[in-house]
Structure 1
């Protein structure tokens, strides 16, 4: 794997906050920071067009769907991604899918109602329901992730930091 310094990607970064969605082509680099949230990337290798979401929760609460649609929830975020790709002339079924995040932010002692794991499950579900294979994923564990999605190449550069650990950061 080629090594690109995070600093060179950061210079071109379009930062996504939780609930945001990014769509771009060739020159864009989308960045985000993930704890228990999950990011899904969809990238078209010929058109060099990509889409990324950063969702907070797997699904909206029953009955609230009409009040709070958008990128905060896995189901609606993925639907928005598909709509944006179609609007740009790209069929989602032709894209390469990758999933990141879903970390346990408070360690293994807080496994009850593990929101990170529920987010990972939702991400896998919506990608597979769309008929896509998951080309790469880096999910779960105790820690957070800093990532950059380079739309020119489809590469996702990721740095994973462990919580309560003296281990060195890993760049993938």
Structure 2
């Protein structure tokens, strides 16, 4: 049963690349592959509207930024929600990624810094993640806007082992 569901999600996947933002209503599925990058999902249960971002870096340069940087990516998500009159504080938030892809000192661990940035942005917005799948290594995820569920296939080294529905 679960296997069929995952294949159905994959067949409808709208693939996001680093720096991309996806938003849509029921019927849409967004997918992405994460290493040290982080994806935040925001889903409004009553409206069945969701947003997902895929950012690479925790801070943006002084000269501006785009969806590759956590603050800009989150601001883009907020604008998408506002344009559709979807209240941010009524959304269910989830955080994924932030893998430790290279043998680095904790200070240089970009994945951990990306996760910290995501958590801080959500906290500033008054949101607590309902689920996380962070750390470890790589993962592929599908965000189903119908249900707000996220299916994660990871390397088994994150907060949640192996394949998960969150």
TM over 0.5: yes
Calculate the TM-score normalised by the size of structure 1.
Answer: 0.88
What is the match of residue 10 of structure 2?
10
Deviation at 1:120, TM superposition (A): 0.3
Matched residues in 1 for 2:71 and 2:146: separation? 26
Matched residues in 2 for 1:162 and 1:95: separation? 28
Gaps of 5+ in 1: 164-168
Q: Is the 8 A contact 2:156 2:163 kept in 1?
A: no
Question: Pairwise mapping of residues 108-123 of structure 1 onto structure 2 (< 5 A)?
Answer: 109-111=103-105, 112-123=107-118
For residues 87-143 of structure 1, give each alpha carbon's deviation from its aligned partner in whole angstroms, at most 9, with x where no partner exists.
01101111000000000112xx323400000000000000010001110001012x1
Matched residues in 2 for 1:39 and 1:161: separation? 17
What is the match of residue 124 of structure 2?
129
Deviation at 1:4, TM superposition (A): 4.6
What is the match of residue 76 of structure 1?
72
Matched residues in 1 for 2:143 and 2:83: separation? 21
What is the match of residue 140 of structure 2?
146
Q: Secondary structure at the match of 1:71?
A: coil
Please list every run of at least 4 consecutive aligned residues from structure 1 whose deviation after the TM superposition is greater than 4 angstroms: none
Question: Pairwise mapping of residues 1-172 of structure 1 onto structure 2 (< 5 A)?
Answer: 3-5=2-4, 6-61=6-61, 63-65=62-64, 69-106=65-102, 109-111=103-105, 112-141=107-136, 143-161=137-155, 170-172=162-164
Q: Is the 8 A contact 2:28 2:146 kept in 1?
A: yes
Calculate the TM-score normalised by the size of structure 2.
Answer: 0.91
What CA RMSD, in Å, does the superposition of the two structures yield over aligned residues? 1.5
Decide which structure has the larger Cα Rg and report it: 1
